Amino acid sequence: MTNSAEPVRFPDSFIWGAATASYQIEGAAREDGRGPSIWDTFSRTPGKVHHGHTGDVACDHYHRYRDDVALMAELGLHTYRFSIAWPRVRPDGTGPVNPYGLDFYDRLVDELRGHGIEPIVTLYHWDLPQPLEDRGGWTNRETAEFFAEYARAVYTRLGDRVNTWTTLNEPWCSAYLGYGNGVHAPGRADAGAAFQAVHHLLLGHGLANQALRAAGASTVGITVNPVAVSPADPHSDADARAVHLVDGLQNRIFLDPLLRGGYPADVLDHMRRFTGVEHIRDGDEKIIGEPIDLLGINYYSPTYVAGRDGAPGSDAYPGTEGVEFVPPAPPLTDMGWQIQPSGMTALLEKLGRDYPGVPLMITENGAAFPDQPDAGGDQVADTSRIDYLDGHLRAAHAAITAGVDLRGYLVWSLLDNFEWALGYAKRFGIVYVDYLTQRRVPKASARWYQEVIRRNGVG
């Protein structure tokens, strides 16, 4: 148990919130002119998603957003990070804007502000309009340009009431899981396509950043999921080389063009094993590297690697043959992810050192556990989640104490929801969702988090 430790208090300006994403909670997949996304197609493809689950209904947030916002207000959230479904706003990805799709977010933003909750908008949390995938998806440069047009359309409608904009969520997942190993939509398994997707996602971010700023946005950022990659043996040169490779593919491939002006040479060489780099045109890195105001960090668990002849590597990291990904050591969450709060401190400190000058926010952190309500259905005693969150908040606080410019913390997630290829089998929420009745039951962790926010700290 970590939560018997000393109390810690955060800076007065610290921002507390929760996060969700459109396809994972909204439902209403065919309402008010929403077009199909790659996740609608993927979840209908036999064998791709656990038990054939889809986001058709999800948490029915599209219809229940008022109650959900009331719950957020009851918990005392300062901010709520949600994503906009691109196929609601521009159903075919290229044609006219659908005003009815934007109406929903208009209502949601008003509801949030009416309750004193600051919206943080993510423009892309993985639900690409299917018609754009039919033209090549993120392997096609045009998708980046269409993304900037879509960003501009959303800003035009919501920019008077939304101050903080993040372009992409976790482009590593979109590129490597969507195009590299096919575990996520659109389900392509082609390493070259994954690296093309990396670049076009980053270019899309850069073009959207320009478009948002030109339209008047004051705070623009991106959310990534960097990992603290460590060697299995700190004295092994082979393990150090494995760390450098995986760090390149997970972290530096995104962070260096965003914050240091260009791709690292070793990463470009690695990409050339799978695809030419003609799609990286002169001037692209300048667009990608334009200043951002906030870097969102999603942290869940650490990664340990070793250099071993004959190790197969991981299909989530193209070209990592000879790297052993060390199986996570207990304690684990229900995702099988290692629980190691100190990994968060180490990561934040490393980011602060390697990429100084940009404020950070934990835009996701949380854990899945197999929660069950009690016999009466009114209590969910998720003490493991409380321990997880307590440990990670202390880890975040340690990073602040060490000088990291960390502005806020958003728990993943407000609600149990559609966990992508794992469907509804994994529960990340601090609020339990009964998918048969859509009843929401705040778990013990929700009440605990309410108190954290009230005290501005843990313990």
User: Known catalytic residues?
Assistant: 170, 364
The minimum distance between CB 59 and ligand IFM, in angstroms, equals 13
Which residue, 98 or 303, is less far from ligand IFM as judged by CB?
Answer: 303
Nearest to 413 by CA among 22, 74, 1, 127: 22
- Show the binding pattern over residues 294-313: x = contacts ligand IFM (CB under 6 A), - = does not: ----x---------------
**Secondary structure string (H, E, C) spanning the chain:** CCCCCCCEECCCCCEEEEECCHHHHCCCCCHHHCCCEHHHHHHCCCCCCHHHCCCCCCCCHHHHHHHHHHHHHHHCCCEEEEECCHHHHCCCCCCCCCHHHHHHHHHHHHHHHHCCCEEEEEEECCCCEHHHHCCCHHHCHHHHHHHHHHHHHHHHHHCCCCCEEEEEECHHHHHHHHHHCCCCCCCCCCHHHHHHHHHHHHHHHHHHHHHHHHHCCCEEEEEECCCCEEECCCCCHHHHHHHHHHHHHHHHHHHHHHHCCCCCHHHHHHHHCCCCCCCCCCCHHHHHCCCCCEEEEECCCCEEEEECCCCCCCCCCCCCCCEEECCCCCCECCCCCECCHHHHHHHHHHHHHHCCCCCEEEEECCCCCCCCCCCCCCCCCCHHHHHHHHHHHHHHHHHHHCCCCEEEEEEECCECCCCHHHHHHCCCCCEEEECCCCEEEECHHHHHHHHHHHHCEEC
Give the footprint of ligand IFM on residues 177-206 (CB under 6 A). none
What's the closest the beta carbon of residue 87 comes to ligand IFM, in angstroms?
A: 17
Nearest distance, CB of residue 145 and ligand IFM, angstroms: 25
Q: Which of 26, 40, 118, 170 binds ligand IFM (CB under 6 A)?
A: 170
User: Can you tell me which of 105, 172, 304, 412 binds ligand IFM, judged by CB under 6 A?
Assistant: 412
CB of 11 to ligand IFM, least distance (A): 26
- Closest approach, Cβ 451 to ligand IFM, in A, equals 24
Residue 147 or 412 with smaller CB distance to ligand IFM: 412
Of 243-302, binders to ligand IFM (CB under 6 A) are 298
21 binds ligand IFM (CB under 6 A): yes
Beta-carbon neighbour count of residue 248 at 10 Å? 21
Answer for which of 111, 364, 382, 390 binds ligand IFM (CB under 6 A) is: 364
Q: How many residues bind ligand IFM (CB under 6 A)?
A: 8
| Shortest reach from residue 419's CB to ligand IFM, in Å | 5
Number of other CB atoms surrounding residue 335 within 10 Å: 16
Contact call for residues 112 and 119 (beta carbons, < 8 A): yes
CB atoms within 10 A of CB 17: 24
CB nearer to ligand IFM: give 62 or 412.
412
Site string for ligand IFM, 416-435 (x = CB under 6 A): ---x--------x-------
**Of residues 24 and 250, the one with the C-beta less far from ligand IFM:** 24
Which of 275/298 has CB closer to ligand IFM?
298
Least Å distance, CB 159 to ligand IFM, is 25
Q: Which is nearer to ligand IFM, 172 or 263 (CB)?
A: 172
Residue 42 interacts with ligand IFM (CB under 6 A)?
A: no
Shortest distance, position 300 Cβ to ligand IFM, whole Å? 7
Is residue 239 within the footprint of ligand IFM (CB under 6 A)?
no
Residue closer to ligand IFM (CB basis): 26 or 419 = 419
Q: Which residues bind ligand IFM (CB under 6 A)?
A: 21, 24, 170, 298, 364, 412, 419, 428
